[in-house]
Amino acid sequence: MLRMRHSYKVGFSFGLISGIVTTLGMIVGLHSSTHSKIFVLGGILVIAIADALSDAMGIHFSEESENKHSFKEIWESTVATFLSKFIFALTFVIPILLFELSTAIILCITWGVTLTMIFSIYLAKSQNKKIIQTVVEHLVLIIVVVIITHFVGDWVATLRTY
């Protein structure tokens, strides 16, 4: 099993899952409300920058508030959070650029679910937990986000005034 310092594990795992959930929610919601490739692409880029910085700052404050981590560990978690969120959010740009938007949305959801499954399996094995239970728990959360943001996007689309 991959050995990782606690500070990197905190930042990486938070950034990975936050990058997947936030980006997927935003992609699905913007697609449902606008059906615009440029808006979805812009949303991904904003998430990759602004939300990655926000999450990194949140982890920084959280680790600092525990008052048990060194200055170096706090900054390792901060940088790991930013980089993992930034990089994983940006991976969703690829299908948006290469495919028709409806196809790209399906590919993005598939990509997000796949990454979540892989990381869930890793977590379950590293903590000696039941793999199926851990994977299902995490996938249900992803599916709930996708469904809710889809319907919120549909609702926002009804608010358009011209």
pLDDT higher than 80, residue 4: no
Give the separation between CA 142 and CA 139, rounded to whole angstroms: 5
Note the pTM of the prediction, 2 decimals.
0.90
Mind listing the pLDDT tens digit for each residue in 86-112?
Answer: 999 999 999 999 999 999 999 999 999
Mind listing the pLDDT tens digit for each residue in 35-76?
Answer: 999 999 999 999 999 999 999 999 999 999 999 999 999 999
pLDDT higher than 70, residue 161: no
pLDDT higher than 50, residue 1: no
